[in-house]
Amino acid sequence: YTYMTGTSMAAPHVTGTVALMLNKNPALTPAQVLDILKKTADFLPNLTSLQQGAGRVNAQKALMAVP
């Protein structure tokens, strides 16, 4: 095991979450997907908004927010 960070590590997790969201509701628009991801992300208290963007993706919360 190793510890890695960055967009190349985040992309597979976000992509998987989006795939699950679209499986639940294929009619979601890209704007809706982005909105859900941002609103359900977990805030990381030790990082600035520039360091974390909207926060850490939370797949469970995102799926629960899919209409």
pLDDT digits (tens, 9 = 90+) for 27-50: 999 999 999 999 999 998 888 877
Helix, coil or strand: residue 42: strand
- Name 27's Cβ contacts closer than 8 Å, sequence gap at least 6: none
Q: What is the pLDDT of residues 3-20, one digit of tens each?
A: 877 778 889 999 999 999
pLDDT tier at 58, thresholds 50, 70, 90: very high
Plot region of 53 (φ>0 → left; ψ -120 to 50 → alpha; else → beta): left
CB atoms within 10 A of CB 33: 18
Q: 67 vs 52, which has greater pLDDT?
A: 67
